[in-house]
Structure 1
Amino acid sequence: MRESIRQLTRESRNAVREGPSGIAGRQRAHLADLVAHARANSPYYGELYQDLPQRVDDPSLLPVTNKKKLMARFDDWVTDREVTRDQVEAFVANPRLVGHRFLDKYLVTTTSGTSGVRGLFLLDERSTGMETALGSRAAGMMGAGDAIRLLARGGRTAILTAPGGHFSTVATTARFQLDHPRLGRRMRVFSIRQPLPELVDELNRFNPAILSGFLGMLTVLAGEQEAGRLRIRPALVIPGGETLTMDLRRRLGAAFGAKVRAAYAATECSFLAIGCAHGWYHVNSDWAIVEPVDADHRPTPPGTLSHTVLLSNLVNQVQPFLRYDLGDSVLLRPDPCPCGNVFPAIQVQGRAADLLTFPTDHGEPVTMSPMLFGTLLDRLPDIRQFQLVQTAPATLRVRLKSAGGADPDQVWQTVRGEIAHLFTEQKIADIALERADEPPQQEPGGKFRRIIPLTKL
């Protein structure tokens, strides 16, 4: 695989030099190869694609899939006839096997099932190699000063997540540590479930060069850094799992004195996109296809917010994801990004399932993006974390964690006023705002979902 990683790295860098037309050509070729492989080796795809042309390099010709459909046909979906769902379920039930190879071939990752269906996903060697190759491509876009700061701290990487289980961040880190014991010592998983003072103390002693984790937890740590309790100087901060607003980007950068490079990824495609300084995510479109679509899966034009997005991961051959409804609402940039990155640029507004819908006086309900609340509340310095829970059609429960030293009552008054003003701007009346006694709650996988619509309860 080492030789393959070198080859993948070389190909990924060649794609940059070829520009948009070359990248598009690579994408078509990779799609055609994966479709041919899937229909020949997966009974599910063989059945689904039986009426398609012999060669398919246009994703719009493919039927749409989703997690519920694929998990229901798991044994027929996978292309390796040795793999069964019962075997994978038994494997993930053993926490001692996190990071180990299933059937000596595949890394197994799971999702927490907050969407209603738990995901069981296999990564072949090609997939893990591609993560390394595209990570190298992204690292090549960093400046010399950033590289020096990384080396000065020994390249130590702190990964903030919820340990236990085969969640992607935990499993991939464990896999790397098993494969590369010497380099693996520079990587460490920090539990976000431990008391905050203990986490801060451990991070101070580790002094990471790279700090990676869910945005909600990084925001909490930014508050600790600003208060002087956390004293680290990473060269790079990598937030993920939630939508990063420009206000939060600036705050993280200022608090840690670091470059902030957001990642847009999913367990189904961990290398999907990398963020730039202008607030856009650049899709690794030579190996992944992102199609913004409306509720009927028709393409939405550039510059228009989509209802959802269809993902095609062109790398994973054991468990193909082709036109897979990811559930995120995205906007494709209609013009070149000023950062100079040649790959397509998107903004992620949050999951379609996280959109809040409220009744109005004029009869037509109003749907609001999570980004509206993020851009509103992220600029308030006294908020460490927030979570909005729709408990009834016209009731919003507000969970808050205030910054150290802030008056919680004053913070609540400010937040209530800001949200009420936002509703007025949106012409939404008579929404009850409830102050929660409990703090924001995290999901089993460690993510803090900032917006919880009524349908998610």
Structure 2
Amino acid sequence: MFSTLSFLARANVVNRLTRSDPAKVARLRETRFRKLLRAATRSPLYRDKFRGLDLARCPLDALPTLNKHEAMARFDDWATDRAVTLRAAEAFVGDFANVGRLFLGKYVLMHTSGSSGQAVILVQPRAAVDLLFTLQMTRGNATGDTGVREAYRKFRNPARLAIVTLKEGFYPTGATFEFYPRQLRHFVHLRRLSQTDPDLIAKLNDYSPTVVTAYATALQELADEFEAGRLKLPGLKHVVNNSELLTEPARERLLKVFGVPVFNNYATAECMHLTTGCPTDPGMHVNADWSILEVVDADNRPVPPGVTGSKVLLTNLANTVQPVIRYEVPDRVTLATAGCRCGSRLPRVERVEGRGQENFWAHRGGEWVRVDAFIIKAALNYCTDSFDWQAEQDEPGVIRLAVAVLPGRELDVPRLRFRLDEQLALYGLRGLVRIEPRGVSRIAPDPRTGKVRRSICRTGPAETPR
């Protein structure tokens, strides 16, 4: 009971901060940032990177960045706990019997899929995973209530949360839900389901969840079932997208079909508590008391709100075991220029456009020319009947584009071709690239990850990762 009361007290503090003076959040963030830097000095990797810097006073942008290739190349030097080694970590995740167990008896271990290049093994303290659930169950609550009265109501009538992902494993979502906090079970009952389960709809109907959390691809399939009348969710309060890019047309469709708030979370395995979806407006709020999100250009210079960056730099203030400080992630992100209707004063990400290295290739005069996937995304902004897409390339200059259209609609191929040609001309690529669009009802996810790979390139310079 004491642990439950302690959780309620922390939850109230966490939720109140969303409407606090941003200066108060900044002071709290600064305190946690300096604590993280002190802990990072126990990491040989960071000792080398921070040599000569005054860590008690230096500004954030004075610190060098870290990328995943450097981190994995020096994995044994990355952690502050010298018992954490790559050999031990690989052996642990290599044994499926370890799913649900703590690495070295105290850490949550997970790995990325490697869908954007090299896979990364990540080590999280148990407290960081508890923080993730605390933030999602408070700031990710459609009502926004976490007081004693709301806690008593949920204690008498707990929420029913359905997590629809893949089966058990060390992938980030699967690994974290193995350690769902015991204190939360009094207020939120949890059922984990697999999106590959042939009886998924029957199980959801039987459970009748009040909250459904899933990948964007699975949410679209559930929306189809709901529209067809096969999925019954009479008590549904909100839905949550996790771990996969949800386009704005897709979010609007979910909002229309389910008729409840749609929380679109953006995070990475390196900082899973990075944001909480906004219940009223597009995008998501940065949990700026526990993380730092820098939206920057290709040279790591900050870009202003309203301008799409080339990548982001992440700092996770909750992980002092495997510090993530100014960690480069090639996501194209745009910060909002205005507030939203939900009342949160935390910074808001207006949109996430996926990975910056999602490129295709063409030939010009015997040399390779990069074709940014943003060209396709920009053209699709004019295609209001679409909600998802996938582009594939097997030879230079030719891209096959599958566009998922809303039920009952047809893709206006001539209009889309015009917009694609317009974008190619804008970037000086007309005549070098041919994009062949076609309409489909659904984009199939990668069976390994359960997520859609939107850019698949099998050609290009030899050094380009496939």
- Normalized against structure 1, the TM-score is what? 0.85
Amino acid at match of 1:51: G
Q: Is the partner of 2:321 in helix, strand or coil?
A: coil
Contact in 1 for aligned 2:242/2:264 (Cα 8 Å): yes
Cα distance change, pair 436–219 in 1 and its aligned pair in 2 (3 A) = closer
Amino acid at match of 1:75: D
Cα distance change, pair 57–232 in 1 and its aligned pair in 2 (3 A) = farther
User: Which of 251, 254, 261 lines up with 1:249 in the alignment?
Assistant: 251
Q: How does 1:256-271 map to 2 (within 5 A)?
A: 256-271=258-273
Is 1:341 aligned to 2:347, yes or no?
A: no
Query: Within 2, Cα distance between the matches of 1:151 and 1:355?
Result: 50
Q: Is the partner of 2:163 in helix, strand or coil?
A: strand
What are the ranges of 5 or more consecutive residues in structure 1 without an aligned counterpart?
none
Between 16-25 and 101-110, report the one with greater CA deviation: 16-25
Query: Within 2, Cα distance between the matches of 1:239 and 1:60?
Result: 31
Q: Where does residue 275 of structure 2 map in the other structure?
A: 273
User: Which of 236, 239, 242 lines up with 2:241 in the alignment?
Assistant: 239
Contact in 2 for aligned 1:64/1:325 (Cα 8 Å): yes
What are the ranges of 5 or more consecutive residues in structure 2 without an aligned counterpart?
459-463
Amino acid at match of 2:284: Y
Contact in 2 for aligned 1:287/1:314 (Cα 8 Å): yes
Cα distance change, pair 120–373 in 1 and its aligned pair in 2 (3 A) = farther
Query: Within 2, Cα distance between the matches of 1:89 and 1:158?
Result: 30
Q: How does 1:221-232 map to 2 (within 5 A)?
A: 221-232=222-233
Q: How does 1:99-110 map to 2 (within 5 A)?
A: 99-110=100-111
Query: Within 1, Cα distance between the matches of 2:448 and 2:187?
Result: 25
Q: Is the partner of 2:71 in helix, strand or coil?
A: helix
Task: State the Cα distance separating 1:220 from its structure 2 match.
Answer: 1.7
Cα distance change, pair 8–45 in 1 and its aligned pair in 2 (3 A) = farther
Amino acid at match of 2:385: L
Amino acid at match of 1:230: L
Spell out, residue by residue over 1:98-156, the C-alpha distance to the aligned partner (whole angstroms, 9 max, x if none). Answer: 12111110111111111221111111032023213322430466257xx8998898422
Spell out, residue by residue over 1:140-176, the C-alpha distance to the aligned partner (whole angstroms, 9 max, x if none). Answer: 66257xx899889842211121214211211121222
Is 1:284 aligned to 2:284, yes or no?
A: no
Query: Within 2, Cα distance between the matches of 1:358 and 1:229?
Result: 46
Is 1:367 aligned to 2:372, yes or no?
A: yes
Q: Where does residue 129 of structure 2 map in the other structure?
A: 128
Q: Is the partner of 1:423 in helix, strand or coil?
A: helix
Query: Within 2, Cα distance between the matches of 1:358 and 1:138?
Result: 45
Q: Where does residue 461 of structure 2 map in the other structure?
A: none
Q: How does 1:6-85 map to 2 (within 5 A)?
A: 8-9=10-11, 11-13=13-15, 15-16=17-18, 18-39=20-41, 41-56=42-57, 58-85=59-86
Cα distance change, pair 364–302 in 1 and its aligned pair in 2 (3 A) = farther
Query: Within 2, Cα distance between the matches of 1:324 and 1:143?
Result: 31
Contact in 2 for aligned 1:328/1:351 (Cα 8 Å): yes
Contact in 2 for aligned 1:28/1:57 (Cα 8 Å): no
Cα distance change, pair 46–141 in 1 and its aligned pair in 2 (3 A) = same
Contact in 2 for aligned 1:176/1:184 (Cα 8 Å): no
Contact in 1 for aligned 2:158/2:188 (Cα 8 Å): no
Amino acid at match of 2:259: G
Task: State the Cα distance separating 1:319 from its structure 2 match.
Answer: 0.6
Contact in 1 for aligned 2:163/2:191 (Cα 8 Å): yes
Query: Within 2, Cα distance between the matches of 1:150 and 1:371?
Result: 42
Identical positions, percent: 31
Contact in 2 for aligned 1:350/1:371 (Cα 8 Å): no
Amino acid at match of 1:25: R
Q: Is the partner of 1:397 in helix, strand or coil?
A: strand
RMSD value over aligned CA atoms? 3.4
Cα distance change, pair 251–386 in 1 and its aligned pair in 2 (3 A) = same
Q: Is the partner of 2:273 in helix, strand or coil?
A: strand
